[in-house]
Amino acid sequence: MNAEEKLQKCFESIRRKTDFVPEIGIILGTGLGSFADEIQTEKIVNYSELEYFPISTVSGHSGRFIFGKFMGKNIVIMQGRVHYYEGYDMTDVVLGVRIINLLGAKKLILTNAAGGINQNFSKGCIMAISDHISTFVPSPLRGKNIDMLGERFPDMSMVYDENLLNIAKSAAKKNNIDLKIGVYAQAQGPNYETPAEIRMFKALGADAVGMSTACEAMAAKHAGMNILGISCITNMAAGLNSEILSHTDVKQTAKNIAGNFKTLLRTILEEI
């Protein structure tokens, strides 16, 4: 079955469960899933209930779509995402983003845990993504173009929406949160990078590194969505200090940032 047929099947199986039309989609990254408690839930669909939908295998990620309202706005949350390093094809990795688009959402907020590369960052800070480097992972647009989503050769000169970025900046200011702005590089994972790789990413202009998001943003941009990306810097990247990286620490730090992160996201959603 090709990517388009799979998408259609998944979309139809979710539509059999709910006719909810979201305005905004949100993907919650590692340790940030608790934001879902803030919305008035109307319907939950587990990924496992959907024909052909890949199941996230990572601890710290549940796997479900949560449909509900926040400040009167219709929202769909993906609590837990699917990563390339889990072994799935890129078209499976971005299936959720494409479903959110087909359900009707035009705006997408992507969140993640990431390692800080910019020396002005520190563990625990929050960065809004201004641009990304996805060159080190395959494009989710590879293969036959899905014409109903977008064109064969989409422009990527402005992946992250300027208006949403400005809303994020003003939301941070309002809450006295020191929001960093920077370039996110996607690595394949699941291993963390070597210090030499981090020096390479730094030389290429990256401010943070993670294992998700850029491919999702690319698929969303292809489909014409307005995208905001937010990274929680859970650690400084390999070699930038003497800390040994571990998923347990990443999850714990993400949980520690979650308070500020939720405040920021709440204010962004109010102002969107």
Residues of this chain that bind ligand HPA (CB under 6 A): 113-115, 187, 192-193, 209-211, 234-235, 237, 245, 250
Q: Name the residue with tokens 């641009």.
A: 131
How near is the Cβ of 236 to ligand HPA at its closest, in Å? 8
Helices first, then strands: H and E counts in the chain: 7, 9
How near is the Cβ of 113 to ligand HPA at its closest, in Å? 4
How near is the Cβ of 267 to ligand HPA at its closest, in Å? 24
DSSP 152-219: SS---TT-B-HHHHHHHHHHHHHTT--EEEEEEEE---SSPPPHHHHHHHHHTT-SEEESSSHHHHHH
- Confirm if 234 and 257 have CB atoms less than 8 A apart: yes
Measured from the CB atom, the residue of 105 and 250 that comes closer to ligand HPA is: 250
Residue nearest to ligand HPA (CB): 115
Measured from the CB atom, the residue of 192 and 261 that comes closer to ligand HPA is: 192
Measured from the CB atom, the residue of 2 and 194 that comes closer to ligand HPA is: 194
Instruction: Report how far apart, in Å, the C-alpha atoms of 43 and of each of 67, 124, 134, 213 are.
Output: 5, 32, 33, 25
Measured from the CB atom, the residue of 74 and 231 that comes closer to ligand HPA is: 231
Half-sphere exposure (Cβ direction) of 3: Cα atoms closer than 13 Å: 22
How near is the Cβ of 42 to ligand HPA at its closest, in Å? 31
Measured from the CB atom, the residue of 161 and 193 that comes closer to ligand HPA is: 193
How near is the Cβ of 153 to ligand HPA at its closest, in Å? 29
Residue 215 identity (one-letter amino acid): C
